[in-house]
Chain A
Amino acid sequence: MTSTAKTLDVSVWRSNDTGGAFQAFAVPIQESQTILDVVAWIQQNEDPTLAYRFACRVGMCGSCAMMVNGKPRWTCRTHVQKVISGNKIEIAPLRNLPVIKDLATDMDPFFDKWVKAEGVFHPSKTRDDAIEQIDPTSHERTEADIGIECINCSICYAACDAVSTTEDYLGPAALNRAWTLFNDAKDSGKQTILDAVSANGGCHSCHSMGSCAEACPNELNPMASIAGLKRETAKAFFARRKS
């Protein structure tokens, strides 16, 4: 950006009857300004009808993800100065999801696939059983620990080209969750998980492009988790032929 500029050239995606178009706004530059601050400023000062979603503002809730200059990002933790190109910022709704209005996407397909991947806990004990002792240094636990910091923001889902080309594909976040549960000693659904991720649209639709790991704001690596699932499904494939 030029040192004399006092405002940012911001293009914001607005829904309309024919789909949508970018609308330009001039937003005053402030110190330590985030993309979410920019969106909030427009909504509060220029157009109260601008729709967007946020909650915690501190990178915990996973609500505020949007496309910023073509890349999916958590807008509350993305500083304007780090992503600005020239003096311009383009803000659009997340890719690969239906748009409700403006910058707010419908997250239903994302969460439906989460369930379809068996990314739900399968309990093995009742309240009367003793609590299972977990060895934090075991291989399974360390594998699971790597993936559990996911905040369900859908940034990896928006970054993934396999999601755009394969309608049924469960996507990186759901499969990452399935992998953490597969490695959880307390989860009893290992075979259920393997069956779910071996179905069409499961882990084998992934081409290891790595955009998920590249984009993840928490620096998780869903591609590695999906590779783990591919490895386990391949093992199960050979084991089943033998038995």
Chain B
Amino acid sequence: MIRPHRSHPLWFAFILHRISGVALALFLPVHFWVLSLALTSPERLDGFLHWTDITAVKIAEFALVFLLAVHLCGGLRLMALEWLPWSPRQKTLAAGAVGVSVLISGTFFLQAI
């Protein structure tokens, strides 16, 4: 898939934004369903929440927070590029978006463990 004409930072920023977007969209229905258990069966919700104590689940949560952060930062970069006249330094901004996302999700992970 990564053919020669695609091997540059902004294409990677694009594919990261697309993949994180799809992953978040697929995760949302599950997220909503688990939360709505609060009303229908609170004990099952607590069951799910205890599940989050497992390390593997914590790593999965870290990945989700990273996807959310990277989709947010990547999106803000796009908005700045398109609606503010910020055309130069796009590669730096794209790298910065990933960096900030790692920081945010890292903080989350450290709090979680």
Contact A209 B4 (CB under 8 A): no
Residue of A nearest to B90 (CB): A210
A-contact bits for B54-91, CB 8 A (1 contact / 0 none): 00000000000000000000000010011101010010
Q: Which residues of A contact B (CB under 8 A)?
A: 69-72, 95, 158-159, 161, 207-211, 213-215, 221, 223-224, 227-228, 230-231, 234
- Evaluate contact between A69 and B4: CB separation under 8 angstroms: yes
Q: Is the interface of B mostly helix, strand, loop or mixed?
A: helix
Task: Please determine whether B3 and A227 come into contact, CB atoms closer than 8 angstroms.
Answer: no
Chain A CB within 10 A, most for which of B4, B5, B9: B5
Give min CB distance, B18 to chain A, whole Å. Answer: 8
Q: How far is the CB of A210 from chain B (nearest CB, A)?
A: 3
The interface size of chain B toward A, counting residues with CB under 8 Å, comes to: 16
B50 within 8 A of A: no
Q: Are B5 and A208 in contact (CB under 8 A)?
A: no
CB <8 Å contact, A209 and B82:
no
Check if A224 sits within 8 Å of B87, measured CB to CB.
yes
Given the contacts A70-B4, A72-B5, A161-B6, A211 and B11 also touching, CB distance less than 8 Å = yes
Residues in B with CB closer than 8 Å to A228 are 85
Q: Are B4 and A211 interface neighbours, CB within 8 A?
A: no
Contact B5 A70 (CB under 8 A): yes
Closest to A214 in B: B8
Is B14 located at the chain interface by the 8 A CB criterion? yes
Interface of B toward A, CB cutoff 8 Å: 3-6, 8-11, 14, 78, 81-83, 85, 87, 90
Q: How far is the CA of A70 from the CA of B78 in the complex (A)?
A: 27
In the complex, which residues of chain B have a beta carbon less than 8 angstroms from the beta carbon of A210?
8-11, 14, 90
Are B87's CB and A215's CB within 8 A?
Answer: no
Closest A residue, CB atoms, query B8: A214
For the complex formed, measure the closest distance between the CB of A225 and the CB atoms of chain B, giving whole angstroms.
Answer: 9
Whether A71 pairs with B4 at a CB distance below 8 angstroms is: yes
Contacts A221-B87, A227-B87 given; does A208 touch B82 at CB 8 Å:
yes
A171 to chain B, nearest CB (A): 14
Q: Provide the residues of chain B in CB contact with A221, threshold 8 Å.
A: 87
A69 CA to B4 CA, complexed, in Å: 8
What is the distance, in angstroms, from B85's C-beta to the closest C-beta of chain A? 7
